[in-house]
Amino acid sequence: MSEQPGGRGARLPVQGVVREVVIPAGVAGPHQLIMDVRCYAVAQPDGIVVIDTGMPDAEMGIGAAVEALGGGWPDVRDIVLTHLHMDHVGSLFAIAERAPLAAIYAGGPDSPDIRAPRHVSPIGEGAMIQDLEVLATPGHTAGHISLFHEATGTLFIGDAAAVAQGEVVRGPGAFTSDSGRAEESLERLAALGPERILFAHGAEVDSPSDALARMIGGSH
Ligand SMILES: [Zn+2]
pLDDT greater than 70 at residue 6: no
Instruction: Quote the ligand 1 centre to 5 CA distance (angstroms).
Output: 31
**Could you tell me what percent of the chain has a pLDDT over 70?**
94
Task: Please report how the helices 179-191 and 208-217 are oriented relative to each other, as an axis angle in degrees rounded to 10.
Answer: 140
Instruction: Quote the ligand 1 centre to 158 CA distance (angstroms).
Output: 8
Domains of the chain: 14-217 (3.60.15.10)
Nearest-angstrom CA–CA distance, 157 and 190: 10
State mean pLDDT over 135-142: 96
State mean pLDDT over 53-76: 96
**Could you tell me what percent of the chain has a pLDDT over 90?**
80
Instruction: Quote the ligand 1 centre to 29 CA distance (angstroms).
Output: 15
pLDDT greater than 50 at residue 3: no
Instruction: Quote the ligand 1 centre to 85 CA distance (angstroms).
Output: 5
Instruction: Quote the ligand 1 centre to 43 CA distance (angstroms).
Output: 24
| Surface-to-core class of residue 188, CB atoms within 10 Å of its CB (0-12 exposed, 13-18 middle, 19+ buried) | middle
Amino acid at 89: V
Range of weakest confidence among 129-138, 151-160, 210-219: 210-219
Closest CA relative to residue 73, chosen from 38, 108, 109, 47: 47
Instruction: Quote the ligand 1 centre to 87 CA distance (angstroms).
Output: 7
pLDDT greater than 50 at residue 84: yes
**pLDDT higher at 146 or 166:** 146
pLDDT greater than 80 at residue 171: no
Instruction: Quote the ligand 1 centre to 61 CA distance (angstroms).
Output: 20
Instruction: Quote the ligand 1 centre to 138 CA distance (angstroms).
Output: 11
State mean pLDDT over 116-134: 97
Range of weakest confidence among 7-11, 44-48, 102-106, 156-160: 7-11
pTM for the complete prediction? Answer: 0.91
Instruction: Quote the ligand 1 centre to 131 CA distance (angstroms).
Output: 24
Instruction: Quote the ligand 1 centre to 202 CA distance (angstroms).
Output: 13
